[in-house]
Structure 1
């Protein structure tokens, strides 16, 4: 198993989706934690204003023209809005990626100390996960914890952790109906815990505060499920849920672990809940069909890589969901196109258009 001490700073990319033009406060707040790492900032192609970024960082900024140059204008539209983060996943060449949105700031723990989100994510990824038997003391590899009485010794070595899902203080990851019913509700509970999500258990994953082993599961984090209709629907709020379930199925199939809990970030207040509900409702209804599908999905043993798994999942999406709603047929096609794009950009990794 990899140890935390063996993970080097140059093995990590910080991916930031820039949906706001002025990143000054955001970058300065994160500077104590980000200054050691390389940053990939993806400007939302729909953002018209120039980005404002302070000095003192090792970073590359990618705009719409860069995205067009790498993937082509006919494809670049998939990276609009929150989904611009996926372009960062695509072009990174590092083993680990920490992804955080530009409306999040470093959190403070229950004692008032700044939370080092990068280090905690890497700790989660570099220590084993235990998906096959639940430990009631949560992560047994944290200081002060261990396996409880009755935990099978044959399972105590755990498996490699491929995905670490952090949480949010202040504005928690509530959906639009919950926000509309409880507009003043905020998350102030700092729970000092990390746990492994059990095998075959689905979990809603947000790309706002995650880290993952790109080499192991990078292709499974993908922009595929898009809703269409009147106005600009918030399809990306469903898209990362779809992406999260895809990567969880991949981890289960490949014998990899997923952890959730620490680290926290501080999430600033978002958009109007009622307006979000109007835009999200179609996606909320789709979830009732998506979850049972992923819960029962089984992939063939011939799928031995994340790329293989996504291709097999796309086949099942088309076969079992394609006739239910056209959005699923489009998702199946998008999953296959994503794998083609992932491989093509990987082959061109030395191109100046890909790595600045």
Structure 2
């Protein structure tokens, strides 16, 4: 995989540290991480000191750094999985690649290690085709092209702003599915990348995702938190809501989203049955969220990601706030996030832990 189109200094790898000992994680990723700058954000609720091996170009941000930058005048909480969003906030790079600390590099069907960093950059640096589906998937991959009947007027594609990778081993099931199929694991490695069609909704996971921060950064928001939110993937909904918002913004702005490669290997963690008690609130909320995003439209004057989130927050509060107070809080967090994004500037990037 060539990285010729992207300079090393245009990329930050953001890692949300929910575990104190990052030694194994960092060493597993060292061949891919060593070329790039890393931002490690320690979960503010994690009491132990982080253990990080030498040999990396990185900055670590702790609770004191978060408090210094964000202050207390915000509804946004950077705890748990949401700590990664602080890394998005303080980065000054064009591209962000987000990787969780319970994942290691996957291997492809031939047994070779997958360079997830290179694949994400390849996805972001080649066009996406959201307005007409290509049945050979991504026509910009080596060895592929547009199929017969694909309109030539659409073959130049649009800018790809978001790359959503997948997981091997523990797939991104919800708690009910995982509880019913406790032994089920994802071993199917599909060597494919596809553009998600315009107007199609999808959840995303911040575990293995990359995006163009310059054009899309403000649309990745830690806004919706469940009342009993926990520290396990099944017990959160912040990235599900984020995925709905960011895809909606991409569609409005004419940007592309790719999914498929790259894979990572995710280790087992948590108890699905116990987590189901906390996730059930989010399962019910999705029945309100989907019709909302199917029907909402933004004015043409919303020309940037910041504009879109501000306008979307207004409609969320107006139409969903009466359904559940969690949406009113989410709307407030969306506005706070845009204010933070505009105010942080280059000052935060100079912090050193």
Band of TM-score, shorter chain: over 0.9
Counterpart for residue 110 of structure 1: 109
User: Which whole-Å CA distance do the structure 1 matches of 2:43 and 2:227 have between them?
Assistant: 19
Matches within 5 A, 1:23-62: 23-62=22-61
SS in structure 1 opposite 2:14? strand
Taking structure 1 as reference, are residues 192 and 339 closer, same or farther at Cα in structure 2, changes over 3 Å only? same
| Per-residue deviation, residues 211-241 of structure 1 (Å, max 9, x unmatched) | 0000010000001111215988979621101
User: Which whole-Å CA distance do the structure 2 matches of 1:229 and 1:112 have between them?
Assistant: 41
Give TM-score scaled by structure 1 length.
0.95
CA contact (8 A) 1:67 1:76 kept: no
Counterpart for residue 226 of structure 1: 225
Counterpart for residue 350 of structure 1: 347
> Aligned pair count?
352
SS in structure 2 opposite 1:78? coil
Counterpart for residue 273 of structure 2: 274
Taking structure 1 as reference, are residues 354 and 236 closer, same or farther at Cα in structure 2, changes over 3 Å only? farther
User: Which whole-Å CA distance do the structure 2 matches of 1:115 and 1:5 have between them?
Assistant: 18
User: Which whole-Å CA distance do the structure 2 matches of 1:235 and 1:80 have between them?
Assistant: 16
Give TM-score scaled by structure 2 length.
0.96
Counterpart for residue 159 of structure 2: 160
Structure 2: gaps of 5 or more residues:
none
Matches within 5 A, 1:251-262: 251-262=250-261
Shift of residue 69, structure 1, vs aligned partner: 0.8
Counterpart for residue 213 of structure 1: 212
Shift of residue 297, structure 1, vs aligned partner: 2.0
| Per-residue deviation, residues 6-51 of structure 1 (Å, max 9, x unmatched) | 3100000000000000000000000000000000000000001000
Counterpart for residue 64 of structure 1: 63
CA contact (8 A) 1:81 1:236 kept: no
CA contact (8 A) 1:205 1:240 kept: yes
SS in structure 1 opposite 2:81? helix
CA contact (8 A) 2:235 2:279 kept: no
Counterpart for residue 16 of structure 2: 17
Taking structure 1 as reference, are residues 234 and 207 closer, same or farther at Cα in structure 2, changes over 3 Å only? closer
User: Which whole-Å CA distance do the structure 2 matches of 1:333 and 1:352 have between them?
Assistant: 25
User: Which whole-Å CA distance do the structure 2 matches of 1:131 and 1:230 have between them?
Assistant: 34
User: Which whole-Å CA distance do the structure 2 matches of 1:268 and 1:156 have between them?
Assistant: 39
CA contact (8 A) 1:91 1:355 kept: no
SS in structure 1 opposite 2:167? strand
SS in structure 1 opposite 2:242? helix
Taking structure 1 as reference, are residues 231 and 134 closer, same or farther at Cα in structure 2, changes over 3 Å only? closer
Shift of residue 77, structure 1, vs aligned partner: 6.2
Shift of residue 298, structure 1, vs aligned partner: 1.3
SS in structure 1 opposite 2:317? helix
| Per-residue deviation, residues 253-296 of structure 1 (Å, max 9, x unmatched) | 11100000000000000200101111111011101111111122
Counterpart for residue 185 of structure 1: 184
Shift of residue 350, structure 1, vs aligned partner: 3.4
Q: Given the alignment of the two structures, is residue 145 of structure 1 paired with residue 162 of structure 2, yes or no?
A: no
User: Which whole-Å CA distance do the structure 2 matches of 1:288 and 1:328 have between them?
Assistant: 13
User: Which whole-Å CA distance do the structure 2 matches of 1:230 and 1:159 have between them?
Assistant: 37
User: Which whole-Å CA distance do the structure 2 matches of 1:254 and 1:355 have between them?
Assistant: 35
Taking structure 1 as reference, are residues 170 and 333 closer, same or farther at Cα in structure 2, changes over 3 Å only? same
Shift of residue 319, structure 1, vs aligned partner: 1.2
Q: Given the alignment of the two structures, is residue 131 of structure 1 paired with residue 130 of structure 2, yes or no?
A: yes
Taking structure 1 as reference, are residues 293 and 339 closer, same or farther at Cα in structure 2, changes over 3 Å only? same
| Per-residue deviation, residues 152-187 of structure 1 (Å, max 9, x unmatched) | 110000000000000000000000000000000000
Taking structure 1 as reference, are residues 246 and 221 closer, same or farther at Cα in structure 2, changes over 3 Å only? same
Taking structure 1 as reference, are residues 229 and 117 closer, same or farther at Cα in structure 2, changes over 3 Å only? closer
Counterpart for residue 297 of structure 1: 296
Taking structure 1 as reference, are residues 315 and 272 closer, same or farther at Cα in structure 2, changes over 3 Å only? same
SS in structure 1 opposite 2:237? helix
CA contact (8 A) 1:70 1:354 kept: no
